[in-house]
Copies of this chain bind each other. A is one copy, B any other.
Amino acid sequence: MTDALSKPMVGRLALIGIGLIGSSIARAARARNVAGEIVVQTRSEATLKRAEELNLGDRYTTDMADAVKHADLVIVSIPVGASEAAAKAIAEALKPGAIVSDVGSTKTSVVRQMAPHLPKDVHFVPAHPVAGTEHSGPDAGLKDLFENRWCILTPPEGTDEDAVQRLADFWRALGANVETMLPEHHDMVLAITSHVPHLIAYNIVGTAAHLEKVTDSEVIKFSAGGFRDFTRIASSDPTMWRDVFLHNKDAVLEMLGRFMEDLAALQRMVRYGDGDGLFELFTKTRAIRRNIIESGQDAPDVDFGRHRATQEGEPAAE
């Protein structure tokens, strides 16, 4: 790892977009001395001002082309639907040999949108750090957001190996583990581990909000029965998630189809009182939780740590 006295891994880092992910990269890069200089770009004057107040970079601009000039590494962290416009805006200003990457949750679409517009003398290495929270904007960034999370690289065929390696090193320096796969496979994996879970969380919160027989006030009061967990995910950034579903349609529809088919089977077990079938499914699903905790992808804290005081043996509040 880089220590405070050695030369930073990246000379100039340009961040296009400074929301949850962009500002987490800025904070992590600072904390770990990974970049010599950080240029922050966002199109909103107010957001840029906020980023400056938070001291997230060394230079600030609303202009994408201006931001990427002389940058060694450019990371585009914006809703995936805006990728093509960003590629067009930065293309001519990019330094030969620069690495251009992104953090989008869908990869075939990002490759399709950006690759045709980028000059041949830069290295385009799409990436997706699988990490986040339900909050958004520059204030939401966390410098340890990528710690022990996975960052997936999806370099198009023929990408310079050295550039891929340098981007992998960058993400490792930010605390992440790195895996490489094809964009199409990435989109299928994320459809089941992220996109469909978000869709059904949004959906049940929507269903609960539109009932005649149960009031919103009751839904809120009795949400500790399980519902409240879904509301966390369903409070994620609407623009980002709209774009995810518009740009990973095929994989989402495939995985959603599987989910709905399985749910119909489960509905049938409930209707016909198939207790053995229910019990069998409910037993199998425990093993996956155990594996996620053992692999360090979630904390073992009971109920997400909501009962921390008691676990530590302190008296409960009275």
Chain A residues proximal to chain B, CB less than 8 Å: 1, 28, 31-32, 105, 130-135, 140, 142-145, 147, 149-150, 152, 175, 179, 185, 188-190, 192-211, 213-214, 216, 218-236, 238-239, 241-243, 245-246, 249, 252-253, 255-256, 258-260, 262-264, 266-267, 269-271, 273, 275, 278-279, 281-286, 288-292, 295, 297-299, 301-311, 315-318
The closest CB in chain B to the CB of A201 belongs to B226
- Does the CB pair B232–A229 fall under 8 Å? yes
- Does the CB pair A285–B231 fall under 8 Å? yes
- Does the CB pair A135–B302 fall under 8 Å? yes
- Known: A202-B281, A232-B298; 14 extra A-B contacts, CB below 8 A, are A190-B225, A192-B208, A197-B225, A198-B226, A199-B270, A202-B285, A203-B259, A228-B292, A231-B289, A252-B270, A253-B271, A256-B267, A301-B305, A304-B304
A253 contacts which chain B residues (CB < 8 A)? 267, 270-271
A189 contacts which chain B residues (CB < 8 A)? 214, 218-219, 222
- Does the CB pair B207–A258 fall under 8 Å? yes
- Does the CB pair A228–B298 fall under 8 Å? yes
Bound-state Cα–Cα, A55 to B145, Å:
41
Bound-state Cα–Cα, A133 to B304, Å:
9
A226 contacts which chain B residues (CB < 8 A)? 193-195, 197-198, 201, 233
Bound-state Cα–Cα, A201 to B222, Å:
18
- Least Cβ–Cβ distance between A246 and chain B, in angstroms: 5
Most chain B CB neighbours (cut-off 10 Å) among A134, A198, A207? A207
A220 contacts which chain B residues (CB < 8 A)? 288, 291-292, 295, 297
- Residue pairs across A and B with Cβ atoms less than 8 A apart, 23 shown, are A1-B318, A135-B302, A143-B310, A143-B316, A147-B316, A175-B316, A192-B207, A192-B219, A193-B214, A194-B226, A196-B204, A197-B230, A203-B266, A205-B288, A208-B288, A229-B232, A229-B233, A231-B288, A235-B290, A238-B286, A245-B269, A246-B275, A260-B264
